[in-house]
Each structure stands twice: as structure tokens, then as C-alpha cells.
Amino acid sequence: MDLDRDATEHVVSMSDEYTVANTAKNGRYRLTATYVTDAGWPTLLSRTRFR
């Protein structure tokens, strides 16, 4: 089994959300995880997409 760092290219971008994208080097798939927090509450929301 390939490790994430060996089988994908890794991109992180910052906005109001924190997004991490991993794309297979052969282009067959892309995983995108987006995280949002609220400083006023003990909350972490996560959205993960597989394409």
C-alpha cells in the first residue's frame, strides 16, 4: 500500500476555512478535506470529498 506522501501531491490553502487537497500523481483521484472551527465553541467541522 502506498503512503499518502508517496502516492499524492499535497496542497494546503488558507482562507476562512482550512483546506487540504491530495491528488494522485497518476490523476486517478483527488481527496479534499475542509475544516472550519468556531473560536466561541469547542467545535470542529470537517468535509471530505473523494473525486
Ordered DSSP codes for 1-51: ---HHHHEEEEEEESSSEEEEEEETTSS-EEEEEEEEETTTTEEEEEEEE-
C-alpha cell at 21: 487537497
pLDDT exceeds 70 at position 1? no
pTM: 0.63
The per-residue pLDDT for range 2-49, each reduced to its tens digit, is 676 777 888 776 567 889 999 999 999 999 999 998 778 898 999 999
> From CA 17, how far away is CA 12, in angstroms rounded?
11
